[in-house]
Structure 1
Amino acid sequence: MASQSQGIQQLLQAEKRAKDKLEEAKKRKNKRLKQAKEEATAEIDQYKIKRETDFRHIQTSIMGSQGNLSVKIEEQTSEKIHSYGGNYQKYKEQVLKEVLNYVYDIKPEIHINYHTDE
């Protein structure tokens, strides 16, 4: 009976060691899964930052060229406005004289549709 009791004790100890090893393996597995998840998250974050940086760089280069176009258009518009203002000052007197000449130089004529019933 003592040998049976000793055999049972050995089996119980072996079962306990197996259970401890299993728990230890589960802890290592969970620890490794957490570590893998953290590494994946860090890698995703780095990739996301890189893509956002690339996007901003491309956006800046495109918007920068559009900004340059906007500046050029504003300069051209300003030049045209200045030119028109100069032409206005230059030709104002001449045009005003011509308009006044048309108003003052009245040549009375009979309208072509006017018929006398004679």
Structure 2
Amino acid sequence: MASQSQGIQQLLQAEKRAKDKLEEAKKRKNKRLRQAKEEATAEIDQYKLKRENDFRRIQTTIMGSQGNLATQIDEQTSQKIQAYSANYQTYKDKVLLELLNLINDVNPGLHVNFKYQV
């Protein structure tokens, strides 16, 4: 009977060691999964940052900076306003004179659509 109890004790100890090894393996596995997740997150962040920097660089080379665009638009607008003002001053008197001549030059006559009835 003593040998049977020793055999049972050995089996229980072997089972306990197996459980301990399983727990350690699970802990290592979880640790590796967390580490892999952290590394993947770091890689994703680096890739995202690189792509954003590339996008900004391409955007500035193609479109220029937004400040420059606003400045260029303001300059073009002021130039057009000055050109329109100069044209207005240049042709104002001439157009006014033509309008007054057309208004004052009245030729009385019958309208084209008028039908005289006897």
Q: Does TM, scored on the shorter chain, surpass 0.5?
A: yes
Which letter maps to 2:106?
P
Q: Which residue of 2 aligns with 1:108?
A: 106
Which range is displaced more, 54-63 or 21-30? 54-63
The two structures, once aligned, show a CA RMSD in angstroms of: 3.0
Q: Which amino acid aligns with 1:36?
A: R
Structure 1 gap segments, 5+ residues each: none
2:115, 2:2 → 1: CA distance? 151
TM superposition shift of 1:46: 1.5
Q: Judge which range, 48-57 or 60-69, deviates more.
A: 60-69
**1:71 Cα deviation from its structure 2 partner:** 4.6
Shift of 1:69: 6.2
Counterpart AA for 1:20: K
Paired amino acid for 1:109: N
Q: Deviations over 1:37-68 (max 9, x none)?
A: 12221222112212221232133224434652
Question: Please, which moves more after superposition, 52-61 or 108-117?
Answer: 108-117
Equivalent in the alignment of 1:99: 95
Aligned to 1:81: 77
Q: Equivalent residue for 1:90?
A: 86
Query: What residue is the counterpart of 2:5 in the other structure?
Result: 9
Cα 1:91/1:7, change in 2 over 3 Å: closer
Gaps in structure 2 of 5+ consecutive residues: none
After superposing on structure 2, the runs of 4+ consecutive aligned residues of structure 1 that deviate more than 6 Å are: 114-117
CA drift of 1:107 comes to: 2.9
Mapped to 1, the partners of 2:114 and 2:7 lie a distance apart of 139
Percent identical residues: 12
Structure 1 residue matching 2:64: 3-state secondary structure: helix
Question: In structure 1, how many angstroms separate the alpha carbons of the residues matched to 2:89 and 2:25?
Answer: 95
Counterpart CA distance in 2 for 1:49 and 1:24 is 37
**1:113 aligned partner, one-letter code:** V
Partners of 2:64 and 2:96 lie apart in 1 by 46
